[in-house]
Structures are given as structure tokens and as C-alpha cells.
Amino acid sequence: MIRLAPVFGLVTLIAAGLALQGLIAIDVVSRYVVPPPSEVLAALGRIVVEEQVPARFLLTSAETFAAGLLILTAGVPAGFWLYHSRPFRRAFEPWVAAWAAAPLVLAYPLFLVLFGRSSITIVILGVAAGTAPVILKTVEGLAATRTVLIDVGRSLRLTRGQMFRKILFPAAMPAIFTGLRLGLTFSLINIVGVEFLINLGGLGQLINELAERYDLAGTYAAIGFVLLASMLFFVCLEHIERWLRRAYG
């Protein structure tokens, strides 16, 4: 059953593609709005060769990776800090929640003025967009740690550091990783979005250019590479989580 699931997913995807192809062929869907999947597939190879996709893919991935590292190193400790100090948690948690929901990408002109038109600005926007969910999920995971597990630690007279490493962190880990997945997704969306808006950098800029040339198949193919980057990050996170779980088991 488990091994059938990915096959089923793939078959569904292919079926959807074929259906779309059919609908476009009989003119139910206009080919000027949605390019036929066959053309998108053909464009994949073309843009790799003609539009420096590998370099762009690397750039966007590197920006997202850098943002992800910063999100991790800022978000998880911030979550711990909010968890540990009740008054700060009461004071700041609603603001962090509001921050998580804010469409920060719209403030890109401000970031441009502050940091210039460069990859740094793009990474900063990625961090700004992805940190809040990590903080929220870290606090949530820590707060959900069962009291009795903390009591076991207290009765064994764990130090603060041991309590963190041996009980709080492993207990909160699933929630922290949910936060990281969300944060990284937000981050990637915003990074590609800003690249698009300021016409600078990797895949986002390519999508912008291709769209301006009315190369619809190419545009969709470029979006396909964004999906690929997103999938790669998910797979990596999953591996890290599994490895950490084994390390703590």
C-alpha cells in the first residue's frame, strides 16, 4: 500500500496533464491562457539550455538555503525565549502571529531602499517572511510538552541545558519541523516573488522575462523549476528530521 501511494500520485498527475492536453486540443481551454502540457515539457529542455536555468536554479536555491539557515538560527531560539518568559510570550505572541500573516513582500520597496538591489535584500525578505511560523511552531511544540515528562526531568534533577537537549527539544521537534517546512515555503515564495518584482536574480527573474516575451510554455516550465527547488528542500528537511530523531532515540 505504502509503495503504491507515490505511483498513484504520479498516475494522477499524468492523468491530469493528459486531460488538460485534451481540453486544450478541443478548445475548451484556450491555449493562449494555459499552454498545452506537451509544450511545457518541451520548454523544460529549451530553457535549461537557452536561459541559464542551472545557474538561476542554484542562485534561487542558495538564497533560500541562506534564508532557511537564518530562519532556523533566529526562529528556534526566539521560540525558546518566548516559551521561557511568560510575560514576553503574552506580549509578543499575537504580534508574531500578525507578522506571520502579513504580506511582507508588498513592502519590497522599503527593503530596496534599506539594503539595495541585491541578493542580500532578497535573502532578508525571505527571512522576514519565513521566521514567524518557525517561532510560533517552536513555542507551540514546547508548550505542548507534557508536564509529566518535564516532571521526570525535574525529579532526576536535570540542569537547564539537559532539560532542553534531552526533553524539551525532542518533545518539540515534530512541531519545530512543521514550522521549518512552513517557513521555508513562505521564504521560497517570497524570494521568487521579489526576484520577479525587482527583476533580479534567479528563477523569479526568469519567470518575469519569459512572461514579458509571452513565452507561456517557458514561463510554466520555469515555475516547474521552482516546484523542483521546493521539493528538494522538503526532502532534505525530512532527512534531517529522521536523522535527528535517530540521534535522540
Partner 1 sequence: MAVPTLTVEHVTKRFGTTEFGVTAVEDFTFDVAEGEFVSVIGPSGCGKSTLFHIIGGLTGDYQGRVTVGGETVNGPHPAIGMVFQEESTFPWRNVIDNVAFPLELRGVSRAERLERALHYVTMVGLRGFEQRYPAELSGGMRQRVSIARTLAAQPKILLMDEPFASLDEQTRLLLGAKVTQIQQRLRQTTLLITHSLTEAVQLSDRIVVMTFRPGRVRRIVEVRLPRPRGDDILTSPEFGRYVAELWVDLREEANRGLDAAEHLAT
What is the DSSP secondary structure assignment for residue 1, as one 8-state letter?
-
69 binds partner 1 (CB under 8 A): no
**120-139 residues near partner 1, rule: CB under 8 A:** none
165 binds partner 1 (CB under 8 A): no
Q: How far apart are CA 236 and CA 189, in angstroms?
A: 18
152 binds partner 1 (CB under 8 A): yes
Q: Which one of 3, 86, 157, 160 is in contact with partner 1 (CB under 8 A)? A: 157
171 binds partner 1 (CB under 8 A): yes
**CB closer to partner 1 out of 111 and 169:** 169
Q: Which one of 23, 44, 74, 149 is in contact with partner 1 (CB under 8 A)? A: 149
**CB closer to partner 1 out of 134 and 167:** 167
Q: Which one of 16, 156, 227, 236 is in contact with partner 1 (CB under 8 A)? A: 156
Minimum distance from residue 174 beta carbon to partner 1 (Å): 9
Burial of residue 211 (CB within 10 Å: 0-12, 13-18, 19+) is middle
| Residue (of 228, 223, 229) closest to 204 by Cα position | 223
What is the DSSP secondary structure assignment for residue 106, as one 8-state letter?
G
Torsional class of 29: left (φ above 0), alpha (ψ -120 to 50), beta (otherwise)? beta
Amino acid (one-letter) located at 145: T
158 binds partner 1 (CB under 8 A): yes
| Residue (of 215, 220, 143, 201) closest to 176 by Cα position | 143
Q: Which one of 95, 234, 243, 248 is in contact with partner 1 (CB under 8 A)? A: 248
Stretch that binds partner 1, among 38-46, 54-62, 150-158, 189-197 (CB under 8 A): 150-158
Q: How far apart are CA 79 and CA 99, in angstroms?
A: 14
Q: Which one of 23, 34, 74, 173 is in contact with partner 1 (CB under 8 A)? A: 173
**CB closer to partner 1 out of 17 and 170:** 170
Contact assessment for residue 82 and residue 135, using Cβ atoms and an 8 Å cutoff: yes
Q: Which residues touch 222 (CB under 8 Å, ≥6 apart)?
A: 47, 51, 53, 203, 206, 207, 210
Stretch that binds partner 1, among 19-27, 45-53, 151-159, 192-200 (CB under 8 A): 151-159
Which residues contribute to the site for partner 1 (CB under 8 A)?
Answer: 146, 148-149, 151-152, 154-158, 162, 166-167, 170-171, 173, 245, 248-249
